[in-house]
Structure 1
């Protein structure tokens, strides 16, 4: 049995292993797919074949217009064509894989197509465009999987009768070892940690909620924000490209993790799972994929675009309530095993007879 894992060029195995050796990524292979290597199956990974500014411009233009990474799929054509099973993690990879299989008239290779953004994007596209993507490409998928129940519901509007399944995401088994929650907050200043590079993050709301308020000390990990964002807030600090050990220390040294988002059906999951493993209370916008994993007594949810609600949720939450919330979230994390190794096991069970 040959299983090919199609990852983005940015997550090329050689690149990831180098970053892992520097302590900058949690696993030697992205998404914990190293757990698949000792199973007795013939496992291959996509490789980054070409590079250069012209290639990247064409590649990213195709992705922006058509939502698929065609050039990367063509570069791995042989591996895809020869595989019995192909696994993917994001939409742009699986759409490229499906197009390659359609062009080669391959009807046998089983493709597990994991969705992250696609159906949010399609709701914003003309119906003719959406129908073209769905009818010409997505119909070739053997199984559509989702890390977010909310995103799966959006897909059901486009894919009536298709094989859809929620597969919970998982974070690194080795990097994020469970740390028991502590009651903390003996300081006069409440420490807030806001990590996240997704375009869905509402950083304006974070600024409005906490900027220049002496009651809060805010640490942000996001490469997208300009220096001016931090210059306008005396109590904000940016941490750029922390190592995994530094990242874990940021979780351990904070009082709350805050996930502020714009409307979407998939975002915030990774940060919420990491915070739960680290035993930190979570305040999140009530959107995205976090509700797939945690209920109201495990995460404090606040309305969209409500900076005051974010701030008040923290100011008005007693220490015992915050501690109990963190305990419950961590218990759910452990009970439902939100780990990479479990996610890889799910991939096997869903695609290998």
Structure 2
């Protein structure tokens, strides 16, 4: 299949035909999407806005609410600190996290000390319990910004719907029923992460050029909304990192580890990182903001290779166990 537009090695796919097109157009878009996720593991979707899912205005407002949150004092943000991988909610100060493919706590601790990720984040989950299998851990909301909670809860659900739409397209592209994944992700055990990459001095940049270390994501698919600063790099088949420059009006989609396992390595969970942009002679690198929605299966979902996709390469794994282990490694807890 010929991909006509790319950003670096990342294909750009028009998603509107899947949302509103004829059955033939839906299937053609699904096949194009799956081809990109097999080959690269990343895709940029344009024309993805919908009445049921994410709107353009929501994305713009989400960045504004994110900026207001990160402008709060350190004291206010630290009072909302992330505590455990089981909860995975709250504020993560700069230097606390070090995303990596390493699994040894000692190795990760050394990386965190020598070259911490140059970012801060706010982690948000589903804000209500529907049943005993839902996370019992509440979100941590800033009291001084009541409108923050009022906006983020419906935005979280809109991102869930977009994730369901993308998973439906993936199912169609794999010759599965379009609703194959619907109930498997219905618990909304996702993570909405607001990210702020503060300006960095030349001295700080000399110690580490990594705003987020090389890593793969953990769940099904990640939705990434980003500003125009850039810095995302995607590893190619030769192991080189290739810049994926922001394309206005697109959302970046990438495969997570559990979806790679689900599809028996047909879809690719690709290593990626965020690096500091060129300062262009300035004393400081520009600030970067992005919003990531990490889609996950329901917590009690057992991830087994989908029948018909070859001899299974992975043993079954409980989603919650996998996510807690990976988050524990990332945060050194």
TM range, normalised to the smaller chain? Answer: under 0.3
Which protein is richer in strand relative to its size? Answer: 2
**Larger of the two Rg values belongs to structure:** 1
Which protein is richer in helix relative to its size? Answer: 1
Higher RCO (CA < 8 A, seq sep 6+): 2
TM-score normalised over the length of structure 2: 0.26
